[in-house]
Chains A and B, each alone.
Chain A
Amino acid sequence: MASSGGHTFKVVLLGEGAVGKTSLLLRFVENKFNDKHLTTLQASFLNKKMNIGGKRVNLAIWDTAGQERFHALGPIYYRDSNGAVLVYDITDEDSFLKVKNWVKELRKMLGNEISLCIVGNKVDLENDRHISVQDAESYAASVGARHYHTSAKLNKGIEEMFLDLSKSMLEQSNTHSAASGGSSAPGSRGGSTRRQVVTIVDDDDRPERRGCCSSS
């Protein structure tokens, strides 16, 4: 219940079924925290506190279902997101195509305010690589996203990716709140966002959030 100052950012985790989202998330938690503190739900939802240049940042990471049958139902997960981590498997071309789809959807729904990270996972399987590093990086640059190479198995690149994402979201929020005069209010229960959310999304956004998703 203790109040925690600083920013809370919502990050959605997207990726096809077998790309290793869950392992990535578990790696990210296990590194910093003792196993005992994990609640069982933390393979799908996770709160993680970070310190970025002396600023306290709280990440609320939302895992999403990657199966095709849930795809059309995804948009209610994305709303009000500050960042997205889009994971593909470097040995699986389809999973990279899926990432491209999600990027389009996210940009359409949330514009340029959302910070995107495209993550090529399983770099431990370099020999089986199907997506060339150059293709992936140039695609990421073309949509204004950063690209990372990770391996959940070897615990490579994950911490760094989340750190960079947090920095980028902080910058985004600073430019935005400078423009709108908003500020972050501290809160509790993982909800230190009450006012912050308001600065990002106007109230008349409400009807839209149901309508905009069915057009594809």
Chain B
Amino acid sequence: MTRWVDRNIGTCVRSVMDALDLDKNGREKDAYEKYLQSIDFSAQTLLKDAACSDFHICAQTRKLVSMMKQCVDRVETLLGALPTSPSSSSSSSSSFDYEGLPSVPKTPPHHASSPPPPSPRVPISPLPHTRKRSSSRAQEKLSAPMSQAMRQNQQLMNAYRARMQQCHAQQGKGSAAHRATDLSLTLQRRMAENVALAKAREKAAVFLLDGTSDHPLCDYIRQCQFSAYSTINPLLHKCAQYYPNLPNLDLPESPLTSSPHQDYNVSDDFDDLFEKEADEMEEKVALMEKEALGRHFQNIASRIRSHLDKIQIMFTVAYAELDGATGRDLCYACVEEPFFRPLWPYLLALSRLANKEKEEVLGRMMQCKRTEAPADMGINPKFCLPTPAESTSPAALPYHAAIEELRSLFSLVAPLSKLECIVRISRQICHCVEAYYNERAEKAPSIGADDLLPILAYVVIQSRLPQLVSECHALEEFVHEGYLMGEEGYCLTSLQTAVNYVLSINNP
């Protein structure tokens, strides 16, 4: 099978040559376009190639990437030569131009009850200890409350139309007219609510995320963060003395950045860690230490939860519009991400210390069960999706999409976005089953908990990330109670149960 890179590299090179020619002849505009086209085409080639070859890097891959880099350099230079117009850069997302650029609402204005003001672009949190990366979904969530409200209103509008049609179709005569007015009033109220909330949220978000702001709320958040940080950090340092060979605590996502087709040797990290504790006395101390760590973690968690509650209350005091069920939810969702982003690595490190025995067991189980097919895991035959013959790449594993979703959990930093990711894992499992049965034009069987749990256990094992225990433990402590009863809570509980199940296979 020819690979995408091999097939397309000729076209890529030709396209770049054309661009270079245009560039040489002084046709900046055309050259600029052609460069961008080349980059676009190369990127697509790489993407397709990555999907088919499962990220197997070859010489051509590198060649293409370095060619793209050169193109980008030229594009940047050309940018200086091209005439500038102030309003045309609305979709740029570079980090230095975030102030005052209006973002364009994506939905046409006639869907809302009032025309929206342009929403200011919001910078990513420059809070202390901030890491640069952030999930794009969260960014979107924070950057455009107004356009989000517009989208919601559009959905409302569509639902409204559908209901109206139903209404007319049913024709209860007098009652239909009454119902129509009713619906229309509900619609108007909800759309107005959405817009008011979005406005309040926008105002709040600007203060919240502008780290240089000396707004008292922003100040208070920083204080809370610092107080949490100053409790955790000494603890971690103290622990580092006891266990000098800690696994790489501060890099929860390291297995993700390494190429996924290489086997992650889960037990390596732990081997030298436990040599130190051979002595019986030391074991006792270690046990006490561990229990103490668990208590510390719980105390820190409960303090952080009460901080977050206070922050939320202060927001509703400062912005009265937010004082409603939906407003409070939105406010919490907004505050949570910037609050946890700098803290999460520390919290996770602490959780990993408290759970290191479990991680070790899970690592061992993952290692010895990793070759087992779904059928070996006691999954109902209806849901044992087959692996295509002679294929050994991880992309061909049954439930691969769910496995990848689970692996992506570790790159997120806020409990809420992690929770959403966990819901997606269960949904992916359902989608995999549906896709398989749809392909054969059969009706997909529905997945009850009896079937979901064994599949989840299989997905956990295939993720090959033993720190999942610690993630779940930390999440359980930090996810707000309000989310624990809904679908999010159900999926988290199921994932925890799957992890506990894998842990329990160990003692027969």
Q: Which residues of A contact B (CB under 8 A)?
A: 1-3, 8, 10, 13, 17, 21-22, 25-26, 39-41, 43-45, 47, 60, 62-67, 69-70, 72-73, 76-77, 80, 185-194, 197-198, 203, 206-207
Q: Is the CB of A22 within 8 A of B329?
A: no
Known: A21-B449, A44-B447, A191-B485. 6 other contacts (CB 8 A): A21-B450, A60-B485, A63-B449, A65-B452, A190-B485, A206-B298
Q: Using CB atoms, name the residue of chain B closest to A21.
A: B448
Inter-chain CA distance A76–B75, complex, in Å, is 56
Q: Is the CB of A47 within 8 A of B486?
A: yes
Given contacts A45-B490, A77-B497, contact A26 B325 (CB under 8 A): no
Inter-chain CA distance A66–B449, complex, in Å, is 8
Q: Using CB atoms, name the residue of chain B closest to A61.
A: B490
B449 is contacted by which of A64, A72, A191, A192 (Cβ under 8 Å)?
A: A64
Stretch from B27-35, B65-73, B423-431 that touches the partner = B423-431
Given contacts A65-B453, A69-B378, A76-B497, contact A41 B486 (CB under 8 A): no
A70 is contacted by which of B426, B482, B488, B497 (Cβ under 8 Å)?
A: B497
Within 8 A of A (CB), among B422-444: 426-427, 430-431, 434
- Specify which chain A residues have a CB less than 8 angstroms from the CB of B263 in the assembled complex: none
Can you give 29 contacting A-B residue pairs, CB < 8 Å? A1-B152, A2-B190, A25-B448, A40-B434, A41-B427, A43-B446, A44-B426, A45-B490, A45-B491, A47-B486, A47-B487, A62-B449, A63-B450, A64-B449, A65-B450, A70-B497, A70-B501, A72-B504, A73-B497, A80-B485, A185-B325, A188-B325, A190-B485, A191-B329, A191-B483, A192-B325, A193-B481, A197-B485, A206-B298
Q: Which residues of B contact A (CB under 8 A)?
A: 152, 190, 298, 302, 324-326, 328-329, 378, 426-427, 430-431, 434, 446-450, 452-454, 480-488, 490-491, 493-494, 496-497, 500-501, 504
- Specify which chain B residues have a CB less than 8 angstroms from the CB of A189 in the assembled complex: 329, 482-483, 486, 488
Q: Is the CB of B447 within 8 A of A43?
A: yes
Given contacts A1-B152, A3-B326, A193-B485, contact A66 B302 (CB under 8 A): no
**Minimum CB–CB distance for A207 against chain B, Å:** 7
- Specify which chain A residues have a CB less than 8 angstroms from the CB of B152 in the assembled complex: 1
Q: Is the CB of A62 within 8 A of B325?
A: no
Q: Is the CB of A40 within 8 A of B447?
A: yes
**Minimum CB–CB distance for A6 against chain B, Å:** 11
Inter-chain CA distance A197–B484, complex, in Å, is 10
Inter-chain CA distance A186–B325, complex, in Å, is 6
- Specify which chain B residues have a CB less than 8 angstroms from the CB of A43 in the assembled complex: 446-448
Please give me the 10 A-B residue pairs with the lowest Cβ-Cβ distance, nearest first.
A190-B486, A194-B482, A22-B448, A40-B430, A43-B446, A191-B482, A63-B449, A45-B490, A186-B325, A65-B453
- Specify which chain A residues have a CB less than 8 angstroms from the CB of B325 in the assembled complex: 3, 185-188, 192
- Specify which chain A residues have a CB less than 8 angstroms from the CB of B426 in the assembled complex: 41, 44
Q: Is the CB of B484 within 8 A of A80?
A: yes
Q: Is the CB of A40 within 8 A of B427?
A: yes
Inter-chain CA distance A196–B385, complex, in Å, is 42
- Specify which chain A residues have a CB less than 8 angstroms from the CB of B496 in the assembled complex: 76
A207 is contacted by which of B298, B431, B480, B482 (Cβ under 8 Å)?
A: B298
- Specify which chain A residues have a CB less than 8 angstroms from the CB of B488 in the assembled complex: 189-191
**Minimum CB–CB distance for B491 against chain A, Å:** 7
